[in-house]
């Protein structure tokens, strides 16, 4: 059975990147690696749309999230955290682990935070040193309005906006400098089309200034040490050399497509997925849907975990279900990174078949037809 990896991370890795990584090892202190590292820096600067020097870490995205807490706050500090899903909860867990008081803004799962709620929280907790949020809350498929939130923190010289853009960067426009986003973290196994293992951060001048006061204990994820090293195209520790080689190739592919092309493709795939799901009577879970993953409510009486396992085990199509309060209730169809139109057709087709197997017959082909109509309309518009 042919297998299809249609999850929101890890995402499929193109052959071109796999082949680039399938080469002899090189030493990370040699000029050849330095040149690759510099290309990766330039590429990430382009992707982040920033003049600052992006930082690289050898860890999954959560490692960069941890760094975005310990490098800017101290034990006893306060932070405001937008919690609209699993990854919002992770910010809270990280704050708690380091003795930081997290003032939570609870957002109903699937919804976007209301910027007015963040403005109120900033008024209520003027000592808060940061607002932590997801650009795309992958667990619910919702996108938060980070540009609006940046306008709130921009007016406060001692408060940072820290954005987890792990499933947003390289999916839609996140112009870091233009919007004034202070810290933006990302991971390799999403829109960057790479295996897991690399994480990234952009850090504003304001954030570096405020980093001077942070007293939280840290060692491996000491971003000031990394900054010093990485500004000279060096790294503190042995890096994941092969992933940097892959990243250089991924960024070359992304540059060939161009940012407008990348954003338009993700938008098109998201719209087609939504149309497909709705055409077979399914409703969307997120009221502010992200362009990286579409969360769809399972039909009444059908356990979404069964949809996921049937699609995977019977049809070879891997998608994700819901977590925690959404477990058994939603499925998540991904479309970020190395995804194109026929990945959507495949996912929808397998979904229709699996629903039928589970006793919820739908008109076969209806969701595929709806998605194709979106593709055809986009093709005509060109």
User: Where do contacts with ligand PLP occur on this chain (CB under 6 A)?
Assistant: 9, 60-62, 87, 134, 136, 138, 164, 166-167, 187
Nearest approach, Cβ of residue 196 and ligand PLP (Å): 6
Long-range contacts of 94-101 (CB under 8 A, 24+ apart): 94/65, 94/66, 94/69, 95/69, 95/132, 98/69, 98/70, 98/73, 98/216, 99/75, 100/69, 100/73, 100/74, 100/75, 100/76, 100/216, 101/76, 101/77
* Residue among 89 and 267 whose Cβ is closer to ligand PLP: 89
Contacts of 52 (CB under 8 A, 6+ apart): 45, 176, 177, 202, 203, 204, 205
* Residue among 142 and 368 whose Cβ is closer to ligand PLP: 142
Exposure letters 15-33 (e unless 16+ CB within 10 A, then b): eebeebbeeeeeebeeeeb
Phi, psi of 235 (to 5 degrees): -135, 155
Nearest approach, Cβ of residue 343 and ligand PLP (Å): 18
Tokens standing for 302?
């059908």
* Residue among 188 and 304 whose Cβ is closer to ligand PLP: 188
Nearest approach, Cβ of residue 126 and ligand PLP (Å): 28
- Apex 30 CA angle, 29 and 33, nearest 5: 90
* Residue among 167 and 230 whose Cβ is closer to ligand PLP: 167
Asked if residue 182 lies in contact with residue 158, where contact means CB atoms within 8 angstroms, the answer is no
Nearest approach, Cβ of residue 62 and ligand PLP (Å): 3
Nearest approach, Cβ of residue 326 and ligand PLP (Å): 14
Could you give the CA distance from residue 180 to residue 151 in angstroms, rounded to a whole number?
Answer: 8
Tokens standing for 51?
């003049």
* Residue among 52 and 60 whose Cβ is closer to ligand PLP: 60
Tokens standing for 38?
């510099």
Nearest approach, Cβ of residue 72 and ligand PLP (Å): 17
* Residue among 33 and 57 whose Cβ is closer to ligand PLP: 57
* Residue among 270 and 368 whose Cβ is closer to ligand PLP: 270
Chain residue whose CB lies nearest ligand PLP: 61
Could you give the CA distance from residue 378 to residue 173 in angstroms, rounded to a whole number?
Answer: 20
Helix, strand counts (H, E) of the chain: 14, 14
Could you give the CA distance from residue 144 to residue 165 in angstroms, rounded to a whole number?
Answer: 10
* Residue among 182 and 352 whose Cβ is closer to ligand PLP: 182
Asked if residue 127 lies in contact with residue 78, where contact means CB atoms within 8 angstroms, the answer is yes
Nearest approach, Cβ of residue 20 and ligand PLP (Å): 21
Nearest approach, Cβ of residue 8 and ligand PLP (Å): 6
């Amino acid at each position: 059975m042919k297998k299809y990896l249609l999850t929101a991370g890890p995402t499929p890795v193109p052959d071109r990147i796999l082949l680039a990584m399938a080469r002899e090892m090189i030493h990370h202190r040699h000029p050849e690696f330095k040149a690759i590292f510099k290309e990766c820096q330039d590429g990430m600067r382009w992707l982040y749309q920033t003049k600052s020097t992006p930082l690289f870490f050898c860890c999954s995205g959560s490692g960069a999230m941890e760094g975005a807490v310990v490098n800017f706050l101290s034990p006893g500090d306060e932070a405001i955290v937008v919690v609209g899903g699993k990854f919002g909860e992770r910010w809270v867990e990280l704050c708690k682990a380091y003795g930081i008081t997290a003032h939570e803004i609870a957002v109903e799962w699937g919804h976007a935070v209301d910027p007015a709620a963040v403005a109120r929280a900033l008024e209520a907790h003027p000592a808060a040193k940061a607002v932590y949020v997801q650009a795309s809350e992958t667990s619910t498929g919702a996108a938060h309005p980070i540009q609006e939130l940046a306008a709130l923190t921009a007016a406060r010289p001692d408060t940072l906006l820290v954005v987890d853009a792990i499933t947003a960067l390289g999916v839609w426009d996140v112009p870091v400098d233009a919007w004034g986003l202070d810290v933006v973290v990302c991971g390799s196994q999403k829109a960057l089309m790479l295996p897991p293992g690399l994480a990234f951060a952009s850090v504003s001048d304001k954030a570096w200034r405020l980093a001077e006061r942070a007293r939280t204990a840290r060692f491996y994820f000491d971003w000031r040490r990394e900054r010093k090293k990485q500004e000279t195209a060096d790294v503190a520790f042995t890096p994941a050399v092969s992933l940097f080689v892959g990243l250089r190739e991924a960024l070359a592919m992304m540059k060939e497509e161009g940012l407008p092309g990348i954003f338009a493709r993700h938008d098109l795939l998201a719209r087609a997925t939504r149309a497909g799901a709705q055409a077979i009577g399914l409703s969307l879970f997120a009221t502010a849907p992200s362009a990286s993953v579409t969360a769809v409510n399972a039909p009444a009486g059908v356990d979404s975990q069964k949809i996921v396992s049937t699609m995977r085990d019977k049809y070879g199509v891997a998608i994700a279900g819901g977590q925690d309060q959404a477990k058994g209730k939603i499925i998540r169809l991904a479309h970020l990174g190395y995804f194109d139109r026929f990945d959507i057709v495949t996912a929808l087709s397998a979904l229709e078949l699996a629903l039928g197997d589970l006793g919820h017959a739908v008109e076969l082909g209806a969701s595929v037809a709806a998605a194709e109509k979106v593709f055809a309309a986009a093709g005509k518009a060109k």
